Amino acid sequence: MRRRLAILLSLVLVVVVAGLALTWIPSDHYIVLPDRARPTDPLVSVPGEDMGEGRSGIYMVDVRIGRANLLERIYPGIHEGAELLPEQVLNPAGVSDRQRRRSSLNAMSRSQLVAIAVALEELGRDVTVSPAGVQATLVVPGSPADGVLQVGDVIVEADGEEVGTTDELQAAFDDVEPGESVELTVDREDKPTELVVGTRAAEDDPERAVMGVQVENAEDFDFPLDVEIDAGGIGGPSAGLAFALDIVDELGDEVLSRGRTVVATGELDLDGNVHAIGGVKQKAIGAREAGADIFLVPDDNFEEARDAVDGLQVVAVSTFDEALAALREG
């Protein structure tokens, strides 16, 4: 009897140790999980904002991404809404977690400025947006730009030619042969910096010279109000719609939330268009857990959000104006 008990206890111990080991050992996949929805009001500071009763009902929602342990890799269903992603999907071309994180925070910073611009223009305030160069959003590991350019650098000159947009940067490279070096002037943390960057042939065109960097237009924003957004460590552009709605909710003559819990997700552009974002399934779960009365999502994400959870009112929008109309009419 004692021997059987000892064997049983040993087996239990082995199972426990094996289970703990599975939670400690990282796998070759990442796991995407729902995150809690956060009210945007504490994150947005607006001069003269109306803090009356019934406001502060706009929420943003994000996802949590981390390296999956072996247990999660084998049984991702232990978490509701979990999604496994191979490393090459999340971090393409050998991009590290640190580089991806920096790019994500950079995208969040720009999305905040765009949200402020869209909201203030909706309220009839004068906003000036002017070209300011071309910003590096990702530097490909092992490329000529690796170790020279940094995410957040804004290219303002290439081989003596002024650069204000991505089209102008491309034009400056028209006469550059693969393998040649290019002299760049960049704004790095608001300081002009001179760099020399090598090039290589583009994968899709052996005659086109590239540095190995992803870029987007950079702009200077001039706002009539000192609006500030502090999202902490949250990254990505998907909170743009929620931030813009919160600013209108706080500064406008009407209360958009009207006592409701409004969760919104979507990337805004300067024209007020709402673009698709990732992690919609997980964000829908986060909206449900927050007790959302309405969940605003981009048109292209509607079906996934609708199918993710039951009993959640999901409204598809393609523009900021449509989002405002949905809240005013709903």
The confidence score (pLDDT) of residue 54 equals 44
DSSP states of 279-308 as a string? -HHHHHHHHHHTT-SEEEEEGGGHHHHHHH
The proportion of the chain whose per-residue pLDDT surpasses 70, expressed as a percent, equals: 90
Contact 267, 286 (CB under 8 A): no
Residue 318 pLDDT:
98
- Is residue 10's pLDDT more than 80? no
- Tell me the pLDDT tens digit for each residue of 264-308: 999 999 999 999 999 999 999 999 999 999 999 999 999 999 999
Domains and CATH numbers, the chain: 2-127+227-329 (3.30.230), 132-220 (2.30.42.10)
Beta bridge partners of 185: 157, 194
Query: What confidence score (pLDDT) does residue 255 get?
Result: 87
Mapped onto helix, strand or coil, the DSSP state of residue 228 is strand
Listed residue (252, 320, 323, 242) closest to 286, CA to CA: 242
Helix (H, G, I), strand (E, B) or coil at 122: helix
Q: Does pTM top 0.75 for this prediction?
A: yes
- Weakest mean pLDDT among 20-24, 85-89, 122-126: 20-24
Q: pLDDT tier at 71 (50, 70, 90 boundaries)?
A: confident
Which pairs count as long-range contacts for 98-104, CB under 8 Å and 24+ apart, including other chains? Answer: 99/138, 99/139, 99/141, 99/151, 101/235, 102/151, 102/152, 103/137, 103/138, 103/151, 104/235, 104/236
* Residue 16 pLDDT greater than 70, yes or no: no
Please provide residue 273's backbone torsions phi and psi, each rounded to the nearest 5 degrees: -80, 145
* Residues 231, 209: Cα–Cα separation, whole Å: 37
Partners of 69 in beta bridges? 26
Instruction: Kindly tell me if the per-residue pLDDT of 103 is higher than 60.
Output: yes
